[in-house]
Chains A and B, each alone.
Chain A
């Protein structure tokens, strides 16, 4: 993938950046992103159910579905590749309605999530699953924001520099999993 095809973006971002990404784009993200997976998503939605404020205003933020391994001394973070996004599907539309503007994970999303992405103009990006040691090099700082008792599942903020991802479903609903697989399907 030549560098000229890569889109460099800064997170958090606005709707115009969100809608500028197209399925298939190679993306490098710098700035600050959120880290949350199953248990943190459950707690975020429990806050909403209880009418409580979330630990952070989600507006404009990108969430990375990740549960890192522990940092060794001198490291910012351990291995930190994406986890399977589909497990967050049950919670995602509510968080998009709260202003969440991007998602990074791996794997398929439900129809309900794709519809909510189009409604709220949110792209979904994939990082390479199982490349946790490589991806960790683009994560400069990891700070737990809430629920430290959840260990690797705590809600956290990450400072990232040229974090590598591929836009797989854009805000228009174009799906790179479908487009990318079709030419190689010979069964």
Chain B
């Protein structure tokens, strides 16, 4: 059985936080650079150019791409043959978030309680942690900082089977149109289909955090991803909502088996700063 210490986990999470917030993934960077050439709107082109320039500055100076360095969303796939030593796993994750956000000059955007006090926790903890136990003897961590501009435009619709494909398309399109410039387009749109209420939402989040150029392995869903992307790019919203054909860079769908009476459809939008960083321990 492989041993991984909590201090190793903390240090890895701290480094992931800084990397994710300051360095735009290459696939997202390349996609924006490519869209400068295909976007017909001069304002849209100018915005895309500025976003590429912004990513360059952030990487060179190790400053955040966007000041909203988000809540730290962490997907942890923990191998069942790993023995975590020297402390508590969740505490180790949170210690890493605190270290990364404080030492990396990242913004602390977490408040202790949602309604009455709303006092800033001061170190961006706690993380939003999604753990899966998987075969093997590694821990795979993906840290995906998520800002509120796009997160606030999330939608969950408990569709029914009769709503079908058209219901899904309408739900996704309505979410994108309602979000408009507020979600900082060009967006990455994550869609979670099936499961139940909470599973659909987690699937949408996983979809939004997928690598930009990844496609759903099921051809029917891969085709739907492309159909939705084309529809979204015909809304006219464009970069920052000022008009154009580059409203989304990608649509990602994740799905799960569901109840005979249900068709849950969750939409989680990522802004153009579609940030994430990974490590395998």
Which residues from A are CB-within-8-Å of B272? 130
Which residues from B are CB-within-8-Å of A51? none
Inter-chain CA distance A180–B239, complex, in Å, is: 11
* Contact present for B182 and A133 (CB under 8 Å): no
Q: Tell me, yes or no, whether B108 is within 8 Å of chain A by CB.
A: yes
Inter-chain CA distance A176–B61, complex, in Å, is: 33
Q: Tell me, yes or no, whether B42 is within 8 Å of chain A by CB.
A: yes
* Contact present for B236 and A133 (CB under 8 Å): no
Given contacts A69-B105, A185-B235, contact A180 B243 (CB under 8 A): yes
Q: In the assembled complex, how far is the CB of residue A131 from the closest CB belonging to chain B, in whole angstroms?
A: 4
Residue with the greatest number of chain B CB neighbours at <10 A, chosen from A134, A181, A184: A184
* Contact present for B243 and A133 (CB under 8 Å): no
* Contact present for A182 and B236 (CB under 8 Å): yes
Given contacts A129-B181, A130-B184, A151-B120, contact A69 B69 (CB under 8 A): yes
Residue with the greatest number of chain B CB neighbours at <10 A, chosen from A129, A137, A183: A129
* Contact present for B242 and A108 (CB under 8 Å): no
Which residues from A are CB-within-8-Å of B67? 66-69, 78-81, 132, 152
Inter-chain CA distance A41–B108, complex, in Å, is: 19
* Contact present for A187 and B105 (CB under 8 Å): no
* Contact present for B234 and A186 (CB under 8 Å): yes
Q: In the assembled complex, how far is the CB of residue B23 from the closest CB belonging to chain A, in whole angstroms?
A: 11
Which residues from A are CB-within-8-Å of B57? 133-134, 137
Q: Tell me, yes or no, whether B36 is within 8 Å of chain A by CB.
A: no
* Contact present for A86 and B236 (CB under 8 Å): no
* Contact present for A132 and B51 (CB under 8 Å): no
Q: Tell me, yes or no, whether A128 is within 8 Å of chain B by CB.
A: yes
Write out, one digit per residue, whether chain B residues 221-248 have a CB within 8 A of any chain A CB (1) or not (0): 0000000000100111110111111000
Q: Tell me, yes or no, whether A36 is within 8 Å of chain B by CB.
A: no
Residue with the greatest number of chain B CB neighbours at <10 A, chosen from A69, A86, A130: A130
Q: Tell me, yes or no, whether B171 is within 8 Å of chain A by CB.
A: no
Return the contact of B43 from the options A83, A166, A186 (Cβ within 8 A).
A166
Which residues from A are CB-within-8-Å of B152? 84
Write out, one digit per residue, whether chain A residues 169-187 have a CB within 8 A of any chain B CB (1) or not (0): 0000000110111111111
Return the contact of A177 from the options B63, B69, B181 (Cβ within 8 A).
B181
* Contact present for A78 and B51 (CB under 8 Å): no
* Contact present for B180 and A129 (CB under 8 Å): no
Which residues from A are CB-within-8-Å of B43? 1, 166, 180
Q: Tell me, yes or no, whether B53 is within 8 Å of chain A by CB.
A: yes
Q: Tell me, yes or no, whether B80 is within 8 Å of chain A by CB.
A: no
Inter-chain CA distance A67–B234, complex, in Å, is: 33
Q: Tell me, yes or no, whether B107 is within 8 Å of chain A by CB.
A: yes
Which residues from B are CB-within-8-Å of A83? 68, 149
* Contact present for B180 and A107 (CB under 8 Å): yes
In the complex, 30 of the A-B residue pairs with CB atoms within 8 angstroms, ordered by the A residue number, are A66-B67, A67-B109, A69-B63, A71-B105, A81-B66, A81-B67, A106-B182, A106-B184, A128-B50, A128-B240, A129-B240, A130-B51, A130-B273, A131-B50, A131-B51, A132-B67, A133-B57, A152-B67, A152-B108, A152-B109, A166-B43, A180-B41, A181-B241, A184-B236, A184-B245, A185-B235, A186-B234, A186-B236, A187-B235, A187-B236
B residues adjacent to A (C-beta < 8 A): 40-43, 46-47, 50-51, 53-55, 57-58, 61, 63-69, 105-109, 118, 120, 122, 148-149, 152, 180-182, 184, 231, 234-238, 240-245, 271-273
